Amino acid sequence: MDDATVQHILDLNRQFYQTFALQFSATRQRLQAGVLRVIQTIPFEGEVLDLGCGNGELAKELASRDFRGHYLGIDQSAEFLAEARHKMAGKRNFSFVFADLTSATWHSSLPAMSFEVFMALAVLHHIPGSALRRQLLTAARTLLSPAGCFIHSEWQFLSSPRLQSRLQPWEKAGLTANQVDPGDYLIDWRAGSQGLRYVHLFTEEELAALAKESGFKVYETFLSDGEGGKLGLYQIWKRV
């Protein structure tokens, strides 16, 4: 995928989340079963970095479980961050920062500290191109303590006939299938009004390769969520 196509897709997704932030957040007011499972692995007095933290539901759940460490959430949606800060008002060990994770310098404004856990739940599949994903993960790895772990989830939308019916031709976004990578899809949004998002379908083999390229190894993999419990692919990685 060339740089112009990457930028086109980033602009597409950025516009989607600016336009549909309130509608999208309304559909994300509870945590999926897989998220509740991985939360149990988080040290409750540790340092947690949540990439693409969204509207603060994960932070809210941690607080309800008496999380006593420090949680830092990052997102590029001002609307999501405003909602997250409102939910966590008064919780001094929870903080939120605006940053574009696709920028090479996204981590430069973060406090000088190391994290025991960093998370990217339903994030990587919205980042186009293997180079950009490696850039993000390589940077995040430098913020992770030697014994720390990376927890992420990826949407397995082809497991659902309903979601398959929402896939759209790339021409609707001003692109062609030849311009994007294998596993790249365009999916529509129908709540309230229509929109388009880029999403990548990861395989376990592809994720294993990405882990190796980024200085990690895959420690655990499981499926959870949605129809048949197969709409979310979760993994826990550790530093090599």
Fold category of 3-239 in CATH: Rossmann fold (3.40.50)
Residues 214-236: tens digit of each pLDDT:
999 999 999 999 878 999 999 99
Expressed in angstroms, the distance from the first to the final Cα of the chain is: 28
Closest listed residue to residue 123, CA positions, set 63, 74, 172:
74
Which is more confident, 191 or 199?
199
Torsion angle (degrees, nearest 10) of CA 107, 110, 115, 117: -60
Name the token pair of 49.
């970095």
Q: What percentage of the chain exceeds 90 in pLDDT?
A: 80
Closest listed residue to residue 31, CA positions, set 42, 43, 46:
42
Kindly report the pTM of this predicted structure.
0.93
Q: Per-residue pLDDT averaged across 84-100, rounded?
A: 94
Q: How far apart are CA 21 and CA 27, in angstroms?
A: 10
Domain boundaries, the chain: 3-239
Residues 172-187: tens digit of each pLDDT:
999 999 999 999 999 9
25 pLDDT tier (thresholds 50, 70, 90): low
